[in-house]
Amino acid sequence: MPKTAEVVVIGAGVVGCSVAYYLAREGVDVVLLEREAIGSGASAHATGSLSLLGAEFNPGPSFEMARASYAEFKWLVPELEAVTGMDLLYQRRPSLRLALDDDEAGLIRGMMVWQQSHVKMRWIDAAEVRSIEPRLSPSIVGAVYEDESAQLDSYRFNLALARAAELRDSEILYREVTGLLNSGGRIVGVKTAAEEIHCGTVVVAAGSWSHAFAPWLGFPVPVRPMKGERLLLNYPREPLGVLISSPKRGHMISRTDGFLSVGSTGGRDYDRRELFLGEEFDRQPTESARLELLQRAIDVFPDLERAELVQQLAGSRPLSPDAKPIIGPAPGLEGALLATGHATKGIHLGPITGRIISDYVCRGSTRAVSDMAQFLPDRFAGVTNADFLAAAAGVEE
């Protein structure tokens, strides 16, 4: 007899594990399949920054989704910590979004026009920035001060979601999915080298590798890898009291374990000529990224000359042609849902994705976001390489 489950989730990154956990909380019988290790894709390499202020979230459903997911962390983190006993290094603090030149100031202030009706924030001048953190560069021209952003350790978060799903009777199997089973136009299971698993619904949450499922879904799954690198530093002085980011120079965050995270490459700040060169799924840390990230960090925070490099991380983010996630039913096919394409925001949007997918499975639709149209898989037609390049240039982290 083949193995069976109500739902098979493919991929144990933050997105797949969130989906598995939210389904398990609803009492659904889940098998989660991972071909390498939990978090081995992009998820273990991420900063874990949870911020509503970046260029990735636009007014409307995109911002609504970001805000809803941000709110999920407030109950989800304590719940996961309680059931797993893990410390997710979650912190909620004020943030500064810095402008180092007039261009950045214009960009940040332009976004403030609509953001300030949703988020408590205000523009502060250079003198006030330096009164909050005197070690910041004198070339800063101003910043948005926001009452609260958050950050956690994305790998611990990923592991905790997986463990908590197991504790609610989900099964995690280390297998590569090599095909989907179709019966009369409906997906009815998955194939691995070892076995077939029959199920009512398959959720493709395979991050940058989701594209490989196109032949069985009869849908191109427009997702490409967008490499990103970041650094962990040992900075043996007083940690930063605020979470710091800037549109062109990325983030700088003192983590609760004492390390300082700086990054990331990819998106707007990256050399566009290099964006899709080299190995498609290149996850090697590079010297050029290390030097660039250190220089950018020192531009913002000159005292980092004293810091020591502890770790350099590299991962492959799943980028869709409009840099928004692809969540919902595979077009023209019963029994298959997609949860991918989260680009630079998969940690932040993991929980809401779990909620949306569990709504589709358990109730056939979702109210987690008022208008799902701009996230549904069927929104794409005639995608070109230029769409991916434009999408990559518009994201920040």
Ligand X SMILES: Cc1cc2nc3c(=O)[nH]c(=O)nc-3n(C[C@H](O)[C@H](O)[C@H](O)COP(=O)(O)OP(=O)(O)OC[C@H]3O[C@@H](n4cnc5c(N)ncnc54)[C@H](O)[C@@H]3O)c2cc1C
User: Which residue ranges make up the site for ligand X (CB under 6 A)?
Assistant: 10-16, 33-36, 40-43, 45-49, 176-177, 205-209, 228-230, 263-264, 315, 317-318, 340, 342-348, 397
Number of other CB atoms surrounding residue 148 within 10 Å: 16
Alpha carbon separation from 216 to 163, 375, 390, 392 (Å, rounded)? 30, 21, 28, 27
Closest approach of Cβ 392 to ligand X, in Å? 13
Residue with tokens 């095909």: 179
Q: Let me know: does 208 contact 41? Beta carbons within 8 Å.
A: yes
Paired with 199 in beta bridges are 5
Q: Smaller CB distance to ligand X: residue 105 or 368?
A: 368
Closest approach of Cβ 241 to ligand X, in Å? 19
Closest CA to 91 of 179, 10, 156: 156
Closest approach of Cβ 151 to ligand X, in Å? 7
Q: Smaller CB distance to ligand X: residue 142 or 325?
A: 325
CA–CA distance, 100 with 140 (Å, rounded to integer): 4
Closest approach of Cβ 391 to ligand X, in Å? 13
Closest approach of Cβ 205 to ligand X, in Å? 6
Q: Smaller CB distance to ligand X: residue 285 or 302?
A: 285
Count of helices and strands (H, E) across the chain: 9, 17
Q: Smaller CB distance to ligand X: residue 42 or 80?
A: 42
Q: Smaller CB distance to ligand X: residue 161 or 304?
A: 161
Burial-class residue 13 by CB neighbours within 10 Å (0-12, 13-18, 19+).
buried
Closest approach of Cβ 285 to ligand X, in Å? 10
Q: Smaller CB distance to ligand X: residue 123 or 276?
A: 276
**Alpha helices of 171-304 — where are they, by DSSP H?**
214-217, 287-300
Helix pair angle (61-84, 154-167), 10° resolution: 70
**DSSP code string of 47-69:** --EE-S-STTPPTTHHHHHHHHH
Closest approach of Cβ 347 to ligand X, in Å? 3
Q: Smaller CB distance to ligand X: residue 230 or 255?
A: 230
CA–CA distance, 377 with 340 (Å, rounded to integer): 10
